[in-house]
């Protein structure tokens, strides 16, 4: 399979083929994912919570993102690599946003993702003008959870739903190649999807978008807390717990290391 491009995302919407994405934050995970038919990898600022143990994404830095994007890129996945622009990496000025997008691209990202709607179109246009593809992100925008009143489902009120549609159209006009729609009511996500020609990719927004994305730690059952919209396909915590306890027992009983696990000088005689 050839490297996935933004054109492939657009063609999938035209052909009504579902787009699949997962997050990844490190080399080994990206290496495993690269052997699947997944379409895209998001190096998300969600790494703050699922990898670094932070309470939210606000303290994730550009240095964090560059380090993790580089690690994922070293796996050379065929999937499109999208990197999150972290909090305050693009809000301060358009020029700073372009420079930071460039840093992520230089370190292996094929595209960047920005949270926000009408208020971020200027920086999106500038980043695209610089030659860097942009994915939009509306609905629940975690970097703005303080302003929107916490991590809640967005779009119940008519005014809020109408603003989401305006935001989606503004992002499309600005040139994004796709839009993540997070934690909105399904009916609203459906209207958003029908109102734009670029693909919409849902996380917690129902079945009506053009694709889906999940945090890989949720998919693997590797987190203490999992949102209502996530689905665990395996209980990796249980598997790891079992393996670690078997290791402990083998060491205590003398089963490990076994003879095949070490060398002696006499082996070479």
Radius of gyration of the chain (CA): 21
Three-state secondary structure call for residue 41: strand
Task: Please give the structure tokens belonging to residue 53.
Answer: 């143990």
By the 8 A CB rule, do 210 and 201 touch?
Answer: yes
Catalytic residue among 118, 158, 162, 182: 182
According to DSSP, the residues that pair with 23 across neighbouring strands are 42
State whether residue 43 is helix, strand or coil: strand
Rounded Cα distance between 175 and 39, Å, is 20
- Provide the token pair at 134: 């942009």
**CA torsion angle for 200, 64, 129, 1 (degrees, to 10)?**
-60
CA distance linking residue 140 with residue 91, whole number of Å: 17
Please say if 238 is a catalytic residue.
no
Contact at 8 Å (CB) between 214 and 233?
Answer: no
Supply the residues annotated as catalytic: 182
């Amino acid at each position: 399979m050839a490297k996935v491009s933004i054109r492939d995302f657009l063609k999938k919407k035209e052909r009504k083929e579902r787009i699949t994405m997962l997050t990844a934050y490190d080399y080994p995970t990206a290496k495993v994912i690269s052997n699947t038919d997944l379409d895209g990898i998001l190096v998300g600022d969600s790494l703050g919570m699922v990898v670094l143990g932070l309470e939210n994404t606000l303290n994730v830095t550009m240095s964090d993102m560059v380090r993790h994007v580089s690690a994922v890129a070293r796996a050379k996945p065929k999937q499109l690599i999208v990197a999150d622009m972290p909090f305050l990496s693009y809000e301060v000025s358009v020029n700073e946003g372009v420079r930071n997008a460039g840093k992520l691209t230089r370190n292996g990202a094929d595209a960047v993702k920005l949270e926000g709607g009408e208020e971020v179109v200027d920086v999106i246009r500038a980043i695209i003008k610089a030659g860097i593809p942009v994915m939009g992100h509306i609905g629940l925008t975690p970097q703005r959870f303080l302003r929107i009143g916490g991590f809640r489902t967005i779009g119940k009120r008519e005014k809020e739903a109408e603003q989401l549609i305006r935001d989606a159209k503004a992002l499309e006009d600005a040139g994004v190649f796709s839009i993540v729609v997070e934690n909105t009511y399904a009916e609203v996500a459906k209207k958003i999807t029908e109102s734009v020609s670029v693909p919409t990719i849902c996380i917690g927004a129902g079945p009506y978008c053009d694709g889906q994305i999940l945090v890989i730690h949720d998919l693997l059952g590797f987190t203490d807390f999992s949102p209502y919209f996530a689905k665990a396909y395996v209980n990796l915590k249980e598997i790891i717990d079992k393996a670690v306890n078997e290791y402990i027992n083998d060491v205590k009983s003398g089963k490990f290391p076994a003879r095949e696990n070490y060398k002696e000088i006499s082996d070479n005689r």
